Amino acid sequence: MSGNGKRGEILVIGGGISGLTAAIEAAEAGANVTLVEKEAFLGGRVARTNLYFPKMCPPSCGIEINIRRVKTNPRIRTLTLSSVESITGGPGAYKAKIQKAPRFVNSKCTTCGECVEVCPADRPDAFNLDMGTTKAIYLPYEMAYPARFVIDGSACLGASECGKCIDACPYGAIELGMTPELEEIEIDAVIWATGWSPPDATKFEGLGFGDFPNVINNTVMERISALNGPTHGEIRRPSDGEPPKSVAFVQCAGSRDENYYKHCSGVCCLASLKQARYIRDQYPEAQVYIFYIDMRAPGRLEDFFVAVKEDENLSLIKGKVANITEDSATGNLTVEAEDVLSGQKVAQEVEMVVLATGMIPNGIGDTQVEGGVALDEHGFLAINQPQGYLAAGCAKRPTDVATCNRDATGVALKALHLSAE
């Protein structure tokens, strides 16, 4: 509640770690918050992370606490499977139209799983980046909030052709007749916390992604390293399911490159160091090679870098990778680069390659915004926005989880100030 007696109405777009933090901080300070998330659950990219650096702890540490704060705060209204269609008006008097997709499962759901047992239809497992499948009715992941199953309408056979889940559910939680809804709300300020996506690495010439099965990217590596991932935490070569005896990390894949993305995502170096630890912890005899342009580990994160690089089975090669080729008989890969410190050309054979691809901003998506928003040269939301609009976390610059939390807290305070004017 502000000094003039007005309680702010704030719209937060994006339910990842930045959106969660901004919504919680604003609500706990007295604002009414509508939190809109396009996926069926809150947590975003962080929910798909195996471990944080530098402490190497699981994301459940932060997400579980934040979800509890959301659940117990009556000032936060959460809309999943939803997107903001348009925003009109001005500061203190915005109107937002929100499109809400049907979940087909109501709040009576206890996640007992009886419906899954009888569902005959499969769909790609989006939580695990389409590595594997789920049934058409599914729980996104074990800690998902809302803790409720969801039905993929594009995969479901429908009540007329199937309807087995309706009969199987002992609580009457299945509603296949749910339809999309359009809601309009009035708000004082908007926080964009729309996050990022990995780039399409098939476009990166010479790196083999999409052509060679044993070339993966860092988001895939994160999921196959996770206990709740498609391989239950066992890091295996995609081509044959064997443990890799040697792995190369290719830094700045498509980043800091005039042909693709000019910006640096900042956190990829540390993410690769972390993932190198995954491999070395699981396979003590494995060899790891990191090809890099510059190794960025600012502040206290340098301690993490120093600890990892002291591993005698890890080699750091300063040089941008020019080409990756495959031995079709073995599936092994040869990584070609020039070591700028020695001046020698390197052709290193490995069994698997991980491309350290960067963060590409999601921006405002398909939302129609009266007057528009300001973007920087890389497509991130600019820090200086029209009054009433604010950007948080990776929506405005590539950054790590801890920095996203700090930034979102500051943005929430700014939104409170704007909504009280």
User: What's the pLDDT score for residue 383?
Assistant: 83
More confident residue, 350 or 6: 350
Beta strands in 193-260 (DSSP E): 196-197, 215-217, 246-250
- Residue-averaged pLDDT of the chain: 94
pLDDT of res. 55: 83
The bridge status of strand 93-100 relative to strand 82-90 is: antiparallel
Please report, for the chain, how many H helices and E strands are present, in that order: 9, 23
Q: How confident is the model at residue 168 (pLDDT cuts 50, 70, 90)?
A: very high
Q: What pLDDT is attached to residue 24?
A: 98
Would you kindly state where each structural domain of the chain is located, as residue ranges? 9-101+180-196+360-420, 114-168, 199-355
Q: Distance between CA atoms of 264 and 286, rounded to whole angstroms?
A: 29
* 197 Cβ neighbours under 8 A, 6+ residues apart: 359, 360, 362
Question: Rounded to whole angstroms, how far apart are CA atoms 235 and 216?
Answer: 12
**Vertex 155: Cα angle to 149 and 158 (nearest 5):** 85
Q: How many angstroms separate the CA atoms of 291 and 295, rounded? A: 10
Q: Which CATH code is given to the segment(s) 9-101+180-196+360-420? A: 3.50.50.60
Q: What is the pLDDT of residues 106-146, one digit of tens each?
A: 999 999 999 999 999 999 999 999 999 999 999 999 999 99
Q: pLDDT confidence of 6, banded at 50, 70, 90?
A: low
User: How far, in whole angstroms, is CA 71 from its chain's centroid?
Assistant: 21
Which residue would you say has higher pLDDT here, 281 or 3? Answer: 281
Q: Which residue has the higher pLDDT, 92 or 110?
A: 110
Whether residue 207 contacts residue 357, with contact meaning beta carbons closer than 8 Å, is answered with no
Residue 1 pLDDT exceeds 50: no
pLDDT band at 2 (very low <50, low <70, confident <90, very high): very low
Give the C-alpha separation, 90 to 387, whole Å: 8
H-helix segments, 204-360: 218-224, 268-282, 301-309
Closest CA to 280 of 311, 254, 258, 303: 311
Q: What pLDDT score does 3 carry?
A: 41
In the predicted structure, residue 207 carries a pLDDT above the cut 80: yes
Per-residue pLDDT reduced to its tens digit, 304-337:
899 888 999 999 999 999 999 999 999 999 999 9
Please give the pLDDT value at position 7: 61
**C-alpha 115: how far from chain center:** 28
How much is the average pLDDT of 156-165?
94
* Statement: residue 247 has pLDDT above 60: yes
User: What percent of the chain shows pLDDT beyond 90?
Assistant: 88
Rounded to an integer, the average pLDDT of 280-291 is 97
In DSSP terms, which residues pair with 248 in a beta bridge? 289, 353
- Tally Cβ neighbours within 10 Å of residue 167: 12
In this chain, the answer to whether the domains covering 9-101+180-196+360-420 and 199-355 adopt an identical fold is yes
pLDDT of the residue at 128: 97
Residues β-bridged to residue 287? 246
What's the average model confidence in pLDDT over 45-52? 94
Q: Is the pTM of this model over 0.75?
A: yes
Decide if pLDDT at 236 tops 70.
yes
Architecture of the domain spanning 199-355: 3-Layer(bba) Sandwich (3.50)
3-state secondary structure of 108: coil
Q: pLDDT tens for residues 15-31?
A: 999 999 999 999 999 99
Does residue 4 carry a pLDDT above 50? no
Return the percentage of the chain with pLDDT > 70, whole number. 98
Mean pLDDT to the nearest integer, 86-105: 96
- Annotate 385-399 with DSSP letters as a single string: -STTEEE-GGGTS--
pLDDT digits (tens, 9 = 90+) for 329-374: 999 999 999 999 999 999 999 999 999 999 999 999 999 999 899 9
Mean pLDDT of 223-227: 97
pLDDT at 421 over 80: no
